[in-house]
């Protein structure tokens, strides 16, 4: 009865507005023809929604570990996704659904309450027909071309988030909205293509980062629900070598250190989550180790350096006195073929840090090399990428002296 009520409510919302969902009949039929020609994979991850989904051409490359199905149809309303769910959602029986729609509904004049009703209808449909499928709502983004609608978008996102959070952990709300804004609170124009409405690849970088790391970021935040963090802490942030530093607190017992590393992350990811991992804690010092994963993913040293500059600017826009120490990208046996790029990145960041007394570059590179000029073989675990206890002892001796009192 509850599902029927929600569907009828959604239909009522639909009936009073033009255009009608039949406008997408050709696009939906094309998806069905595609499925007949080539059977869709089982247990796939389904992305469905409006233009920002349809135009996401790099989607398969960004989620290589998943079998991805893209069922975005440009200009779609969230209510239209509900309308066509029996044709482009339910038949696939996906393990995961990422839904991104609602902005077009609002732009057409529909209210936040109407958009919420459509989302409830979609969620109820998935819960009934696909009880094993996980559902995530990708927040309605802002954009420069629709900036005058920002408060309506914020309100709608909040209503959907509140509905999701009230239901426990059955649905996930992926909030990348703050990541789309610059230090001035305005949309970052580089995240959009020429029309200033749809995402550029840089914009899709933001969404990808939010999808990949939100759960791990939430787990870090959960640590402080019962025990408040110290005031003016030293926040360690970055990739696996930070996250795996399990003895960090014991190594520096007289320092208010917090480990906010998340494994596999890039400098770009620390930029995206600074508003959750760093800024709320108002640290007196930040120690960052990241960059190796960026280079391994094919980014140039110049691109990684630019991301570090954005990270510094974002921190200092809100915390101008906070010191930032960058631990140099380190050598390791597994990625030794990338050593030229590593050294190039280190040189760029070293020079940049020398220009600002709030920045410090800590070179761990020489200490990790053996007399033959290659990485010391006895400071890494079996994967030849991450450090063992001996490696962290080495870092302890190098990092300790640069930590603030």
Which CATH number do you get for residue 312? 3.40.50.1110
Per-residue pLDDT at 74 = 86
Which of the listed residues 168, 193, 216 is the one where a domain comes to its end? 216
Per-residue pLDDT at 64 = 86
Residue 19 preceded by cis peptide, ω within 30: yes
Distance from first CA to last CA of the chain, Å, rounded?
Answer: 62
Same domain? For 274 and 302 the reply is yes
Per-residue pLDDT at 358 = 98
How far, in Å, CA of 370 to CA of 42, rounded?
49
Same domain? For 102 and 127 the reply is yes
Same domain? For 251 and 157 the reply is no
Which of the listed residues 195, 216, 237 is the one where a domain comes to its end? 216
Same domain? For 202 and 269 the reply is no
Residues 25, 33: contact at Cβ < 8 Å? no
Same domain? For 298 and 180 the reply is no
Per-residue pLDDT at 170 = 80
Same domain? For 108 and 189 the reply is yes
Same domain? For 169 and 24 the reply is yes
Per-residue pLDDT at 14 = 46
Per-residue pLDDT at 87 = 96
Per-residue pLDDT at 165 = 92
Q: Give the long-range contacts of residues 167-172, CB within 8 A, separation 24 or more.
A: 170/127, 170/135, 171/123, 171/135, 171/136, 171/137, 172/134, 172/135, 172/136, 172/137, 172/214, 172/215
Same domain? For 181 and 282 the reply is no
Per-residue pLDDT at 7 = 47
SS (H, E, C) the chain: CHHHHHHHHHHHHHHCCCCCHHHHHHHHHHHHHHHHHCCCCCCCEEEEECHHHHCCCCHHHHCCCCCEEEEECCCCCHHHHHHCHHHHCHHHCCCEEEEECCHHHHHCCCCHHHHHHHHHHHHHHHHHHCCCCEEEEECCCCCHHHHHHHHHHHHHHHHHHHHHHHCCCCEEEECCHHHHECCCCCECHHHECCCCCCECHHHHHHHHHHHHHHHHHHHHHHCCCCCCCCCCCEEEEECHHHHCCCCHHHHCCCCCEEEEECCCCCHHHHHHCHHHHCHHHCCCEEEEECCHHHHHCCCCHHHHHHHHHHHHHHHHHHCCCCEEEEECCCCCCCCHHHHHHHHHHHHHHHHHHCCCCCEEEECCCHHHECCCCCECHHHECCCCCCECHHHHHHHHHHHHHHCCC
Look at the chain and report how many structural domains it folds into.
2
Same domain? For 127 and 11 the reply is yes
User: Can you give the residue range of the structural domain that contains 277?
Assistant: 224-402
Same domain? For 251 and 275 the reply is yes
Which of the listed residues 216, 249, 284 is the one where a domain comes to its end? 216
Same domain? For 6 and 144 the reply is yes
Low-confidence ranges of the chain (pLDDT < 70): 1-18
Per-residue pLDDT at 1 = 47
Same domain? For 157 and 292 the reply is no
């Amino acid at each position: 009865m509850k599902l029927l009520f929600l569907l009828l409510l959604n239909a009522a919302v639909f009936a009073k507005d033009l255009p009608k969902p039949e406008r997408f009949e050709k696009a939906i039929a094309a998806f069905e023809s595609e499925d007949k020609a080539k059977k869709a994979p089982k247990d796939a991850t389904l992305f469905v929604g409006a233009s920002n989904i349809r135009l996401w051409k790099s989607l398969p490359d960004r989620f290589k570990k998943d079998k991805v199905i893209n069922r975005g149809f440009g200009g779609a309303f969230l209510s239209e996704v509900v309308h066509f769910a029996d044709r482009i959602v339910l038949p696939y029986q996906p393990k995961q659904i990422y839904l991104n729609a609602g902005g077009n509904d609002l732009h057409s004049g529909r209210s936040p309450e109407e958009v919420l009703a459509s989302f409830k209808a979609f969620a109820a449909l998935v819960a009934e027909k696909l009880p094993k499928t996980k559902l995530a709502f990708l927040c309605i983004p802002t954009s420069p071309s629709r900036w005058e609608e920002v408060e309506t978008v914020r309100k709608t996102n909040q209503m959907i988030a509140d509905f999701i959070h009230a239901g426990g952990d059955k649905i996930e709300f992926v909030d990348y909205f703050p990541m789309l804004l610059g230090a001035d609170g305005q949309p970052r124009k580089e995240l959009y293509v020429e029309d200033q409405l749809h995402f550029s690849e840089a914009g899709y970088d933001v969404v990808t980062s939010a999808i990949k790391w939100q759960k791990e970021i939430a787990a870090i935040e959960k640590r402080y629900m019962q025990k408040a963090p110290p005031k003016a802490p030293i926040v360690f942030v970055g990739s696996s070598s930070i996250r795996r530093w399990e003895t960090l607190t014991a190594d520096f017992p007289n320092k208010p250190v917090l480990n906010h590393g998340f494994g596999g992350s890039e400098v770009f990811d620390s930029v995206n989550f600074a508003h959750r991992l760093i800024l709320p804690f108002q640290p007196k010092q930040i120690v960052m180790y990241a960059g190796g994963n960026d280079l391994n993913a094919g980014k140039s040293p110049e691109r990684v350096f630019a991301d570090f500059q954005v990270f510094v600017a974002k921190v200092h826009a809100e915390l101008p006195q906070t010191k930032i120490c960058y631990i140099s990208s380190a050598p390791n046996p597994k990625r030794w073929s990338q050593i030229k790029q590593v050294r190039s990145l280190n040189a760029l960041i070293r020079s940049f840090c020398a220009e600002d007394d709030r920045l410090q570059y800590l070179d761990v590179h020489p200490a990790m090399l053996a007399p033959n000029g290659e990485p010391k073989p006895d400071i890494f675990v079996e994967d030849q990428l991450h450090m063992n206890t001996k490696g962290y002892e080495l870092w302890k001796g190098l990092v300790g002296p640069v930590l603030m009192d």
